[in-house]
Each structure stands twice: as C-alpha cells, then as structure tokens.
Amino acid sequence: MTQDARIFWQTLQDDWARLRSIHLRDLFAQNPDRFLDFSATKDDLTIDFSKERVDYRAWTNLLALAEACDVEAKRDAMFAGEHINTTEDRAVMHVALRAKAIDSYCVDEELTAPLVNATLDAFLAFADAVRDGQITGTRGKRFTDVVNIGIGGSDLGPVMAVKALAAYGEEGPQMHFFANVDGTDFHDKMSKLNPATTLLLIASKTFTTSETMTNAHTAKQWLLTELSHSEVGQNLVALSTNLNATQEFGVADDRVFGFWDWVGGRYSLCASIGLPLALAVGSANFREMLDGFRDMDLHFKTAPLAENLPVLLALIGIWRRNIMGAPTLAIMPYDQRMERFPAYVQQMDMESNGKSINRAGDPVGHQTAPVIWGEVGTNAQHSFFQLLHQGTDIVPVDFLMAAQPGHGLGAHHELLMANFLAQSEALALGKETDEVLAEMLADGVGKDVAQALAPHRSFHGNSPSTSIVYKEMTPFALGRLVALYEHKVFVQGAIWDINSFDQWGVELGKTAAVKIATVVSGDAPISGLHPSTQHLLKRMTALQA
C-alpha cells in the first residue's frame, strides 16, 4: 500500500468519525437536493447514492483513495490483456467476449476477436437451428426441452439470465438447470421429460468437475432408457475445452463449444456457457445482451473516476464495508424475473474478493468482500425486512427496479414501484418515537398504552441504501447491469490489492471431497480421515442400515 493510500484510508476513518452521529434526516435537511449531488446517470440507467451516509468531503476522499490505489492503471492493465491473475499467470479478458473487432483486444499479442467471433457465431447458429427445428434428435423430433448440467459459473449465470429474460423466450424450448450432485435435483428436474426430445448441455471447461460429470453420466444413462448408443450423441452438447474427454463421453466435435483460460467461470456468461440463454431467447437477443455488456465495458474503460458508474458503486461498497464496518450487503431486485440475480452477484463478488491475502502474499490488514445475499421485493419485505428496519446491525441495501413493467398489469407495477420507493425512504429516515406517539394519540389510543407501544413502533432509520433504476429489463439492460457489477468487483479488488480472479478456496473443498469419496465408496480405509470425520461417516453409515 502506498503512503498516499494509507493517508486516505485514515482520512476516510476521520470522515466516519465525523458522520457517524449525523442522521440521514439531518443530511437531507442540510441539503434537500442530495439526489442531484449524489447520483450518476448513463442514458436510462441511474444510480442514486443520496441515501448513503456520506457527504461531499467523504465522497471526494473516496475518489482520492481510488486514485491513490491506481485503479485506473490496474483497469488499463486488464483491458490491455496483461496477466493480472498472477497466481495462475493468466490474462483476465472477459471483456473480449462482448467486444467488437474495432476494440482490438489482445492476449499474448494475439487478437481475441477472430477467436471469440468464430466460437460465438458457431454456438449462436447452433442455438437458432435448434429453435427453428433444423437440428433435431436422431428420430427427427424437435427438441422440446434443454437441460443444462453445470455448477458455479456454468450454472448461475445462465439460469439467472434465462429467468431475467423470460419475456423473450416464449418461442424457444423449455429450459431446465441442475447443478447439485444431490440426486433429488436430478429426479425432480428429469422425471417428467422425454429423453428423445431433450437436449443435454454439459458445461465444464475441463470436463472433470466432479458434481457436473456425476450428473452428466447419470443424465446420459437416462437418455439411454429411450435412445440407443448410436442415437444418444445427437442429444448431447459439451461446453468445454477438453476434446479428448468430450469425445470419450460421446459428444461429436461439432457439438463442442469451448472458451479460453482468460475467461473465469463466473465471468463466462458471454462465452459458450451462455448457450442455454441463446437457446432460450435466440441469437439476436443474445447479441443485444452482448451490446449491453460492451456499453458498460467502454464506459468503465473511458469515463473519469468521478463519473464512472462501476467505480462509484465500488467506492460506496468500500465506504460501507471498510469505513462503516458493515459485514453484509443485501441486493433487492424489484422484479420477479430477477430472482436469481442476488445469487449470481453473490458468487461473482464473494468468489472473486473473498480473500485474506494480498497480491504480494501478505495478510490484507483490512476487511474484504461482504456477505452478499438478497431476495426479490416485495417478498423480502415480509421476511427479513423486519431486521433491516429494527435490527441491531447496519445492513446496506442495493435496490434495483425497471421503470417499465415486463407485462400488461399496470396496477401491479404501480404498487411494486410504490414499495420500492417506500422501503429505501423508510430505511433512511425511520420514524421517531415522538411521531409515533402523536399518531397513536391522534387515533384515540390511550396515553399510557401509546407510551408503552411507541418504542416498539419506532424506527431509528439511518440505514444506507443505493437505488438503481433503468427503463425496462431488456437483453441490453441485463448485459449492462451485469457488467456494472463485474467492474464494481474489479475496482474493489484493486483497492484491496487482492487477486480477484483465482479461487483456491473452491479448489480446497473439491480436493477434500475427492479424498473422502474414496473412503465412502469403500476404496480407501476410514483410518485415513480426520477423527471427527470418521465419527460422522460412521454415524451416517449406521443410519443407512
């Protein structure tokens, strides 16, 4: 960490010492036009930071911190194709997946556009041919259902996007996803499908991921209950780079769509991992989504820090996490079709920045990624919003909503919009005890009863939130929104000086599971396991008897 960065970290702590006791009600009283000073807009996309517990001085110091941490230089290094994933010696170039040839991105002095466009054209042509009935199963029947078998980034991105863009998928096959190695997931997803008219997509870059390949072999055997060995290949597609393994599994080479080691799994929606979405909504809509991604990419690449939406969203996150000490972030999309968006961002953020070691291999010395979680509104209001309004912890919230509905039920959307606006206002302003008491007395409640109840009906407020609004949920809007959060994660990793693009913690669990699996299957002695694991396994084995 540079000396300048240390100075601004301390300056921000001083800002919080000054602001900690100031209520958002007072900040708005001092400046009713906070929205104009603490919001940022790009076309129809607006991000409102006015209900965050910052003032102009703190805002300025956050921008100074970004400069002191060389965010712009680190951003430029990513776009230049430098190997910023140092522990794996890889470039980080998911932006190339949605670029135009004119962008001239390179990795190791090789232009990425020819590689990307060849694969993109191939899997989008395949998707359209399936949708049009030109590609069918061996028996000439159209594919009525598509099952995507993947996990992590090979599942969360496609399932999120297919749900979010359901309005654009009415003419495509029915999409199904299963990731969990738990056999109930397979049973529940597959039991009502017809093997002859079901297309299996097996999404694993290495084609060795334990959960995915276990599910894939089970699904192939399910196909063989209806199809012969010579027929089954017509119902298989692989999203992988391991041609030897896909051939051994029985997938024809022209049904294998790969991607590159400079694309991390959680950033692979625009690569062939997005084939489920292309099958659901068609190539034109998929390309429109890519345009939305690119629009935000170019904004992030070129906009000054003070006007750069991903940078500003990241800096507010730094303020919440490191300065205010909030350990968590709730993401609340007011759109039922966006129900998987919180889980998608959860993986993107926590797998990227859930690190305690900096790029030099030393302890970071400060908190990194918050715990990300969330639910769609208005469902969330009737479950955990009680804690947000009256709990003992600060829980920052990102609210998201489209101004225009994706349906014709205008009255429903008006009520949804009212709730969206009311929740951020209520979290910020709260309701003081004197106000509650006056309302109860005006309603005829006795003084003694009113005084007893008033503390229970009071709300401190002063809870920070950011509101993100856009015109409507389209493929373009989704791409732009996902890229906004991708680059936010990058900026925070740059400020924390961590490698946001490896995931050794994920690998740890995989390795441990492989070892234990040999014991569970009886191929290795139980004595090789940790004593507590031995006892648990013995207890579970006894319960199976």
Cα torsion 504, 508, 513, 518: sign = positive
Single-letter residue type at 463: S
Distances, alpha carbon 494 to alpha carbons 3, 92, 358, 497, 499, in Å: 16, 13, 10, 5, 8
Residue with tokens 């034109």, as numbered in its chain: 284
- Tokens of residue 216, six digits: 């894939």
Cβ-based burial of 393 (10 A; exposed 0-12, middle 13-18, buried ≥19): exposed
Nearest partner of 43 among 484, 544, 499, 399, judged by Cα? 484
Query: How far apart (Å, rounded) are the C-alpha atoms in residues 390 and 399?
Result: 19
Residue with tokens 């190695």, as numbered in its chain: 181
Phi, psi values for residue 244, rounded to 5° = -60, -45
| DSSP codes joined into one string, 258-283 | ---TTS-GGG-TTTGGGHHHHHHH-H
The torsion angle over the Cα atoms of residues 103, 476, 373 and 79, rounded to 10 degrees, is 0
Annotated active-site residue in 412, 510, 515, 538: 510
- Tokens of residue 38, six digits: 């603490």
Query: How far apart (Å, rounded) are the C-alpha atoms in residues 67 and 494?
Result: 11
Active site residue 510: yes
Annotated active-site residue in 351, 355, 389, 486: 351
Active site residue 382: yes
Q: Angle 114-79-108 (CA atoms, 0-180°, nearest 5)?
A: 55
Task: With beta carbons less than 8 A apart as the criterion, state whether 488 and 345 touch.
Answer: no
Query: How far apart (Å, rounded) are the C-alpha atoms in residues 208 and 193?
Result: 26
Strand bridging mode 145-149 / 198-203? parallel
CA 106 from centre of chain: 26
Phi, psi values for residue 403, rounded to 5° = -70, -35
Number of neighbours of residue 111 by Cβ within 10 angstroms? 15
Nearest partner of 177 among 200, 207, 194, 205, judged by Cα? 200
Annotated active-site residue in 141, 187, 229, 382: 382
Distances, alpha carbon 34 to alpha carbons 39, 55, 135, in Å: 8, 9, 56
Phi, psi values for residue 299, rounded to 5° = -60, -45
Distances, alpha carbon 445 to alpha carbons 383, 432, 434, 435, 452, in Å: 28, 18, 14, 14, 11
Nearest partner of 395 among 416, 414, 421, 374, judged by Cα? 374
* Residues belonging to the active site: 351, 382, 510
